[in-house]
Amino acid sequence: MKIPEHPIFLESVDYIRSQIGFTGLNSAQQSVLERIIHSSGDLSMQSYLRFSPNACENAMHALKDGANIITDTYMAKAAISPVAKRTLNSNVKCILEMAPEFINASSKTRSSIGMQQMWLEYTNEECLVAPIVVIGSAPTALMTLLDLIQEGIHRSSLIIGMPVGFIGVAECKNRLLKSDLSHIVLEGSRGGASIAAATINALLRSASD
């Protein structure tokens, strides 16, 4: 079902298009870019946005086939869930649901532990369609996911790799970019829950139209 857009959003998109000009992107990629720019207020985002071949198309097929969406934060889950419900009724889960409330002083983070636990849970289930993973805040979660996939533990339908920050961020993004996994990545230190959520929301809307 196509969700009607608010007139203010449509006016914003017209302005964005007037500023960025011709992008050479296909319609799904263009929708992702416009929503990222709208979410961030940053017209330079096109310079950092990277798509693996057929990333959007693969993700939309997976969403239509019932793929679950996994987020690294409750904030991203909250931003995605309403759109998921109104479009394809996709199931949205957060890795922190599987993370311990407290951890001892170690090199692991709650996000890393939560990702490992949730990904291993998926390998034990009859999962017909690989999940889509949305990372906007936790580079350790992305690095853990890449380690697990490299070990042969379940692949993803798409990884949206947009953790924000400086420590460990460039390393995990570059590793994802060099992999053969379907991905959408925002290079550099930019990212965040709202931008990562805007990306999957654009794909949900495109898939449901």
Q: Which residues are catalytic?
A: 38
Task: Label residue 179 exposed, middle or buried (CB < 10 Å: 0-12, 13-18, 19+).
Answer: middle
Residue type, 38: H
Sheet order of strands, 49-51 included: 49-51, 183-186, 158-161, 132-135, 69-71, 92-94
Which helix or strand (DSSP H or E) is residue 74 part of?
Answer: helix 74-86
Q: How many CA atoms lie within 13 A of 204 on its CB side?
A: 28
Asked if 32 contacts 202 with a C-beta cutoff of 8 angstroms, the reply is yes
Cα–Cα distance for residue pair 154/87, rounded to 1 Å: 26
Q: Are strands 69-71 and 132-135 parallel, antiparallel or unpaired?
A: parallel
Angle between the N-to-C axes of helices 27-40 and 7-20, in degrees from 0 to 180, rounded to the nearest 10: 100
Cα–Cα distance for residue pair 173/78, rounded to 1 Å: 24
